[in-house]
Amino acid sequence: MFIAWSGKHFGEEPPISGTRGSGTIFFSGCNLHCVFCQNYQISQLGIGQNEYTPEGLAILMLDLQSRNVHNINLVSPTIWGKEIIEGLKTAKKRGLKIPVVYNTNAYDNLEILRQFKGLIDIYLPDFKYADNSLALKFSGVANYVEEANAAILEMLSQAGDLILDKNGIATKGVLVRHLILPGYIENSLEALKIIRKFSSNIHLSLMTQYNPAFKALEHKELNRTLLPEEAKRVIEEMNRLGFKNGWYQPIEEKAAICLNPDFTKENPFN
């Protein structure tokens, strides 16, 4: 398997990053081809392909644990499922005790997901689309809605609703993300309805941080940041639907800007 970068990461949701950081492992490659991917250097272009065996992955996870991180955060693990399962089993036999996060685009194979049962503590799926035509146009798959829906239900059956400790740090459960795309607010409104049906206590992370990256520059509708009125409309729908748990990124005069990581650097986030 190929890994682009690993280390302490403080850019996740508060229950994941906490105060000590998330022990994050960014895998290379992806089963989606999102035109707006912020991690396109490693998901699409193959930058930073450092080859690891399952044994090497286990050593890496144990090293991150020794650095006092809150969790092990596996980013874009889907295409390396079998290798990761082997690495996790080895790491746990050798003393991996902190929660393991499966950080995914939600376009996951159910058969492989079921093999992660008992190995993953926290699932962090990004439910991107409620419209398969958009999924095909922007991510290259025609059945995203059905596949992601089934995958998240499987994640919930394994881990349940998100549980936080006394310090607000996630220990187990599912946290669903959704990124609002500019010009496609109806997609977000419909996505929220689907997410709301997963569980009455579902935790939602509503992201307003979109900014153009990669091939998004070639799509007029995606070649801009989110407008405040667009974000406001989706946040209002979130409240109307009665989400009780979660977070959203507030915006005032302009949308939140997320600095894209640069995986050609030793630390992509500096």
- Predicted confidence at residue 270, as pLDDT, reads 81
- Predicted confidence at residue 269, as pLDDT, reads 85
**pLDDT tens, residue by residue, 214-263:** 999 999 999 999 999 999 999 999 999 999 999 988 776 555 556 688 89
Residue ranges in the chain modelled with pLDDT below 50: none
- Under CATH, what is the fold of the domain 2-181? TIM Barrel (3.20.20)
Taking the model in full, what pTM does it have? 0.95
What DSSP string runs through the chain? -EEEEEEEE--S-HHHHTTT-EEEEEES--S---TT-TTHHHHTS-TT-EE--HHHHHHHHHHHHHTT-S-EEEES-GGGHHHHHHHHHHHHHTT--S-EEEEE-S---HHHHHHTTTT-SEEEEB---S-HHHHHHHHS-S-HHHHHHHHHHHHHHHH-B-EE-TTS-EEEEEEEEEEPPTT-HHHHHHHHHHHHHH-TT-EEEEE------GGGGG-GGGSSPPPHHHHHHHHHHHHHTT--EEEE---SSS----PPP-TTSSSTT-
- Predicted confidence at residue 94, as pLDDT, reads 98
Domain spans of the chain, in order of start:
2-181
